[in-house]
């Protein structure tokens, strides 16, 4: 009895497993009102721009055109987790909304797509995952505008000028002291 049960479970699992794997890899989800599918993007390298198409269809298979799909990226920074909106796209006549996404960091990127189907009041969503490889540093400061004559040298010239003037003032103080010394010597000479 036990072996029959085990064999039945194994058979059902073997039959369902490929379907489960297929569904998981395709990233498809059966929403309550809309049939949504996200094409698998596969492996992407940092800096490479990939399209993330999301197809929305009604339950009878006709495409949902004109629906706004908002894309969120799950982020983690300094121990704080949250979602950041990375873009929006509108479904075309085939019901496909596609977002051009350029990952800037390597790793496991979890995306969530949110949409509100026409005539519905509940916001629905689906998720997909992109594995990003590579270690290119994408955050570069722009070189800036190089205006001739404006730079550290100008700062040095201004500083040198100011301190030169202050030095000149110190020389005036020295002149006062020297004049005072002459008076003292003259007074002492007169006393002698």
Partner 1 sequence: MAALNDWQNRLEETALGPVRRTGRRFWAVVAILLAIIGWGLYAYSVQLRDGLVVTGMRDRISWGLYIATFVFFIGISHAGTLISAILRVSNARWRTPVTRMAEFVTVVALICGASFVVIDLGRPDRVLNVFIYGRWQSPIIWDVLAITTYLTASVTYLFVPMIPDLALFRDRLAGRSSRWRGSLYRTLAIGWHGRPAQWRSLTSAIGVLMILIIPIAVSVHTVVSWIFAMTMRVPWDSALFGAFFVAGAIFSGIAILIIVMAILRRTYHLEEYVTEKHFVYLGYLMAAFAAIMIYANISELLVHGYKLQEGVEFHFRQLFLAEFAPLFWFYLLGGLCAPIVIALVPATRNVRGIVAAAILVTLAMWIERYFIVVTGLRVPLMPYEPASYAPTWVEWSLLAAGLAAFALLITLFTKLFPIIAVWEVAEDHEASAVQAGTGIPARAIPATADSPRLAEEAGR
What SS3 state is found at 165? Answer: helix
Asked whether the beta carbons of 110 and 87 are under 8 A apart, the reply is: no
87 scored as a contact of partner 1 (CB under 8 A) = no
175 scored as a contact of partner 1 (CB under 8 A) = yes
What SS3 state is found at 134? Answer: coil
190 scored as a contact of partner 1 (CB under 8 A) = yes
Residue 101 beta carbon to partner 1: minimum distance, rounded to whole angstroms:
19
∠ Cα 127 60 71 (to 5°): 20
47 scored as a contact of partner 1 (CB under 8 A) = no
Q: Rounded distance, CA 55 to CA 26, Å?
A: 12
Asked whether the beta carbons of 107 and 98 are under 8 A apart, the reply is: no
The sign of the CA dihedral 154, 159, 161, 162 is positive
Written as six digits, the tokens of 186 are 């003259």
Of 83 and 124, the one with the shorter C-beta distance to partner 1 is 83
20 scored as a contact of partner 1 (CB under 8 A) = no
136 scored as a contact of partner 1 (CB under 8 A) = no
140 scored as a contact of partner 1 (CB under 8 A) = no
Of 81 and 93, the one with the shorter C-beta distance to partner 1 is 81
176 scored as a contact of partner 1 (CB under 8 A) = yes
191 scored as a contact of partner 1 (CB under 8 A) = yes
Write the CA distances from 10 to 73, 103, 114, 142, integer angstroms. Answer: 38, 41, 37, 60
4 scored as a contact of partner 1 (CB under 8 A) = no
Residues forming contacts to partner 1 in the complex (CB under 8 A) are 75, 77-78, 80, 82-84, 152, 155, 159, 162-163, 165-166, 168-170, 172-173, 175-177, 179-181, 183-184, 187-188, 190-191
């Amino acid at each position: 009895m036990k072996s029959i049960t085990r064999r039945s479970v194994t058979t059902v699992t073997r039959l369902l497993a490929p379907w489960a794997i297929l569904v998981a890899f395709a990233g498809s989800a059966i929403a309550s009102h809309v049939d949504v599918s996200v094409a698998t993007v596969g492996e992407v390298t940092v800096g490479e721009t990939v399209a993330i198409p999301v197809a929305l269809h009604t339950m009878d298979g006709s495409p949902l055109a004109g629906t706004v799909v908002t894309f969120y990226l799950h982020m983690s920074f300094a121990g704080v987790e949250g979602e950041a909106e990375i873009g929006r796209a509108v479904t075309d006549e085939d019901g496909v909304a596609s977002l051009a996404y350029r990952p800037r960091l390597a790793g496991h990127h979890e995306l969530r797509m949110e949409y509100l189907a026409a005539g519905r009041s509940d916001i629905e969503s689906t998720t997909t995952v992109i594995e990003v490889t590579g270690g290119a540093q994408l955050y570069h400061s722009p070189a800036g505008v190089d205006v001739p004559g404006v730079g550290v040298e100008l700062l040095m010239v201004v500083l040198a000028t100011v301190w030169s003037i202050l030095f000149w003032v110190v020389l005036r103080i020295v002149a006062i002291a020297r004049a005072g010394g002459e008076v003292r010597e003259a007074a002492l000479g007169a006393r002698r």
